[in-house]
Structures are given as C-alpha cells and as structure tokens.
Amino acid sequence: MSASDFVIVILAAGKGTRLRSSRAKVLHRAGGHSLIEHVVRACQPLSAKRIYAVVGHQADDVRAAVEPLGVETVLQQPQHGTGHAMVVARRAIGNRVKHVLVLPGDAPLIRPETLRALLQTHRNGNAAATILTAVIENPSGYGRILRKSGNNVAAIVEQTQLSEEQRTINEINSSIYCFALDKLWPALGRIKPNNTHRELYLTDAIAVLSQQGDTVLAQIALDAQEVLGCNTRAELSEVDRLFRGRKAAALMDAGVTIYLPESVTVDSEVQAGEDTVIEPCVQLLGKTRIGARCTIRTGTVLSDATLADDVTIEPHCVIASSRIDSGARIGPFARLRPGNHVRAGARIGNFVELKKTVVGEGSKANHLTYLGDARIGRNANIGAGTITCNYDGVHKYPTTIGNRVFVGSDSALIAPVRIGDGAYVAAGSVITENVPADSLLSLHQVQVSVVKVAVRHNENCAILYIL
C-alpha cells in the first residue's frame, strides 16, 4: 500500500457518556497529552494521503486540538454511531484512494509499528477488511470477534448483543481496521440500526462483508495493551499508568535510576541523561531536559525545565520553564517561576522564589527570599529575607546586583535599582537608590543617604512610604 492509496479516519465525534464529563472524551488526557493527540501522533509516521478526524461533540475544541497536527476534520452532527461516522466521512475521502485505516479517538496506546503491520496484512491478504484484534483477560465492554475459519472473521458482536456462550470469547475488536473502500461503501449501505442505541455500528459492516463472501481478516495485536480504550475513568487512569510505565522503562533503559517508578510521572517528551537519579513522587512534565548525573529528589515537579549535568534538586521544589546550569543546587522547597537562569554552581535554598531572574555562577540565595526581574552577578550572597520589590502595583522594574555583592538579611531592594560589584549592604537595609561598586553601606548610611519619604497617589488614596 503506497502513500497515495490510503487515508486515515479517526473517529472522534462521540460524547463519551460513560466518563460522566462535560468535556469530550477524546480531549481527556493520559500520558501527558489528550487521547486524540496520541492517536494522531501514532498515525503521522504512516504517510497516509490524508488524516481526517470525524468531530461532533464539542467539535470546535476537538478541531483546535487536531488541526495544528495537520489533521482535516469532518463534522458528524448528530452522532448516530461509528458506522454513521464513516458515512459522513465518505464525501471528504472521495474516490482518490483505495483503502482507509480507521481508528477510534479513545485508544491512545497504539503504536505506528502495529498500524504498519496491519496495513501490510490487509494488502498481502487482498482483504475487504482487516481488523486489529487483541486477546485480553477481561473482554467486558468490547465487541467480540466471531471467527469463521483460520484467520477469517464472520462478525463482530457488541457486548450488549452477546449470547451466553459468546461471552466467553476473549478476542476483542480494537476498533482499528483497514477497509477496501470499494467494499466498505456498499456494506455501510446495508447495515441497520438494530441495537438499543438505534445507531449504525461500523462493526456490523464486518458481517455484511463476510456473508457476501469477501475476505475479512483478523490480526491479533502482539501487545494487547495497545488497543485499550478509555470509555470510563478507571480505563483512563489505567491507560495513563501504562503510558507512565512505558516512559519510565525507556528512561531506565537509557541509564536513569528511578526509585518507585510507579509513583513517578514522566511526560513522553522528557529526556534525562545517564546516571541521573529520580526519587519517588517526582513529576517531570512537558519538554523537561535533564543532563547526566543529576539528582531529582522526592516531591519535585519540573515542567519545561532544562537542567545541565550534575544538578541537584532537593525535595519539594516546583520549577517551571527555567534553565539550571551544571553543579547548581536548588531547594528544598524552592519555587522557580518561568524565565530563570541559574548559572553553574549557584545555590538556591529553602523558601526562595525566583521569577525572570538570572543568578550568576557560584552565587547563593539560601533562605526565604524573593528575587523577581533580577540579574545577579557571580559569587554574590543574597541574605535571608531579601526581597526585590519589583512591582509598584502598576509596573515591574528590574534589579541588578553585581559580582561579589553581599546583601545582608532582611533587605528590601526597591526596583529599579543597581548594586555595584563588590558592594556590601548591611542587614535590614531598604535600598531605593543605586549603590556604587565596592561601597560599604551600613544601616546608618542607609538612613542618612538613601532613606527617603515617598508619596504615591492612587485613584482613591495616597500611600506614604517611609523608606
């Protein structure tokens, strides 16, 4: 089957009643992405002529999720079943291709290799339809495969229509199929909504094809987990757990130690280098990149963080969209909001918050400090309780702290302000004016030369600052 002779249709119009949710089922998340995004990503490497998604329930939101991934959408309104969804997709598909690969939007663990193998079986067998099936321990809820002879299928029977003896069949329909379009379209014309939901089931097209003597093949998935659907919250969390397990296993294969991996959440795009150690209850999210020999201690959440080699993140840190260079040590209990760069060997201690701040090589802010919109040079020491007062209620202002600066405890730096290289600011200072390089600012000097009284007018009140 060449790239030019098949399209992919992802069925994503359903509501997902069994999730009991105000959000469309395919937009629920597992393994760090929406269900539909996983399915689209599994389809992308196959080079189909087009990828379509049939949308309906919360169509705009589902469109917004898939269109940026290069998927075209077809509107199914109202939703009268999976067979009806394919009838609706027919016009978009047109006559340009011979085959269609159909997938449900709620089975996100599927891998491209499995889809490729299914396409291959379909082509080699010259089949009218080829069904990806799986043999699972608890088949309850899935359509079951009625085999005719050998690899040939007679029908798919939905859970609600199973006879007593069919209930023991544990080969299930994954809802992933290849169809020859010249066979599918007439077969869809012959199915009836003979079920409790009065829907047109795509599964009923299988019996139609089989009865008219067409070849319907079944291919059993090597890894049954790949076809698991997410119809209920329990299935959703199980699928999430499997994604996390896959990712943790891949990282461990790449030389990362993970303790209690079942307690660790790692998104699919996260990378980590050899000999990095991840302790229990850590979350590594988004595009987080971790170098070699790092230690990420318990309770830490990193999202879109970039760590060089030999970084230690002590317990219970929250770090977003920040860069941390080699040998730096953060936490415990530090919060890095987006936009920070902590340079090599720097130390950010407990109850320290950073926002859009650069901390120079070897500098330290060890305790109880807020540094926002600040640039701090090399080997500076920021004492306990130092606050950059970067916000006057309307605008944000920068603070610049030079190399080797010592800021004593409990100092307030009223931005915009600059503290020159080598300056020494005494404990308890309130700095409102620039401090020259190498100056020694005692509390007395602060009161005499720097202290000011400022009055600022807001709309309804005047604020008196005694500085």
DSSP 69: G
CB of 59 to ligand UD1, least distance (A): 11
Token pair in block for residue 459: 């709309």
Q: Which stretch binds ligand UD1 (CB under 6 A): 103-111, 183-191, 380-388, 426-434?
A: 103-111
The smaller minimum CB distance to ligand UD1, of residues 78 and 393, is found at 78
Query: Looking at beta carbons, which residue is closest to Mg ion?
Result: 229
Classified as helix, coil or strand, 68 is: helix
Q: Which does 142 bind (CB under 5 to 8 A by kind): ligand UD1, Mg ion, none?
A: ligand UD1
Distance between CA 368 and CA 350 in Å, rounded?
Answer: 6
Q: Which stretch binds ligand UD1 (CB under 6 A): 8-16, 94-102, 123-131, 340-348?
A: 8-16
Please answer whether residues 291 and 310 qualify as being in contact, where contact means their C-beta atoms are separated by less than 8 angstroms.
yes
Distance between CA 404 and CA 412 in Å, rounded?
Answer: 18
Q: Name the pairing type of β-strands 453-457 and 462-466.
A: antiparallel
| Active-site residue (options: 28, 38, 367, 395) | 367
Q: Kindly list the distances between the CA atom of residue 206 and the CA atoms of 128, 182, 238, 279, 293, in Å, as whole numbers in the listed order.
A: 9, 14, 29, 50, 54
Say whether 33 is catalytic. no
Token pair in block for residue 297: 């201690």
**H helix or E strand, kind and range, residue 331:** none
Q: Exposure pattern of 155-164 as b/e (b: 16+ CB <10 Å)?
A: bbbbeebbee
CB of 216 to Mg ion, least distance (A): 21
Q: Which of 297, 268, 263 is nearest to 285 (CA)?
A: 268
CA-based Rg of the chain, rounded to a whole angstrom?
30
Tracing tokens 């916000």 back to the chain, one arrives at 391
Vertex 121, ends 183 and 105: CA angle to 5°? 70
The smaller minimum CB distance to ligand UD1, of residues 105 and 299, is found at 105
Distance between CA 319 and CA 168 in Å, rounded?
Answer: 50
Beta strands in 181-264 (DSSP E): 216-220, 257-258
Contact flags string 193-212 toward ligand UD1, x per CB under 6 A: --------xxx---------
Q: Which does 429 bind (CB under 5 to 8 A by kind): Mg ion, ligand UD1, none?
A: none
79 is an interface residue for ligand UD1 by CB under 6 A: yes
Contact flags string 204-243 toward Mg ion, x per CB under 5 A: -------------------------x-x------------
Q: Which stretch binds ligand UD1 (CB under 6 A): 82-90, 113-121, 145-153, 233-241?
A: 82-90
127 is an interface residue for ligand UD1 by CB under 6 A: no
First to last CA, the chain: 77
Contact flags string 138-177 toward Mg ion, x per CB under 5 A: ----------------------------------------
Distance between CA 433 and CA 372 in Å, rounded?
Answer: 18
Q: Which does 81 bind (CB under 5 to 8 A by kind): Mg ion, ligand UD1, none?
A: ligand UD1
38 is an interface residue for ligand UD1 by CB under 6 A: no
The smaller minimum CB distance to ligand UD1, of residues 10 and 313, is found at 10
Q: Which does 80 bind (CB under 5 to 8 A by kind): ligand UD1, Mg ion, none?
A: ligand UD1
Longest CA–CA span in the chain (Å) reads 100
User: With CB under 5 A, what is the number of residues at the site for Mg ion?
Assistant: 3
101 is an interface residue for ligand UD1 by CB under 6 A: no
Contact residues: ligand UD1, CB under 6 A: 11-14, 25-26, 54, 76, 79-82, 84-85, 104-107, 142-143, 156, 158, 172-175, 201-203, 229, 231
* Residues taking part in catalysis: 367
Contact residues: Mg ion, CB under 5 A: 106, 229, 231
